[in-house]
Structure 1
Amino acid sequence: MEPVLTPLLCREARTLLDLDTAEVAFVTRIPVLDLEMFEAGHTMLPTITLAALQRLFERGGVVFAPEKSRRGVLLQTSA
């Protein structure tokens, strides 16, 4: 089952990749305020937007692993 991108996982993944909200919003073509409100837990984003965010983070090397990491995200390293 694919992980559900929660506000906390979104914020942690973005931080792990050292991206600010403006960069992520630009690439995923969503308003910065929408992303900030989602990460703060004040609003929910459409499923298609959550999928776009998750793809962006995964392309950057983020692995969503709440069971393996206290933060819920890990950065995949090349072998």
Structure 2
Amino acid sequence: MTEFEITVDHELCSGCSSCVLACPINIELEPQCADGVAPKTNDVVLRVINGVCCPLKIELCRNKTFKCDLCEQLCPNGALKIIEK
């Protein structure tokens, strides 16, 4: 299993929530994300806080086993990157 980290360039991040709402784990944990409603807790992989995306519980991220990178793919500004350690 590859170790990784999720990095966010706060200069590029517009806080649009595309990454947050695309995350299948966020949707699983807080189903309202599928309808475009932001997570209400910090018990998710990603959340926008104070206008920028913040990785919170990356240990839940599917990238560990499925090589999921939807958050990175859907970031319109290229602010979010999944980097192998």
Q: Which structure is higher in helix share?
A: 1
Taking structure 2 as the reference length, what is the TM-score of the superposition? 0.35
Tell me the TM-score normalised to structure 1 length: 0.37
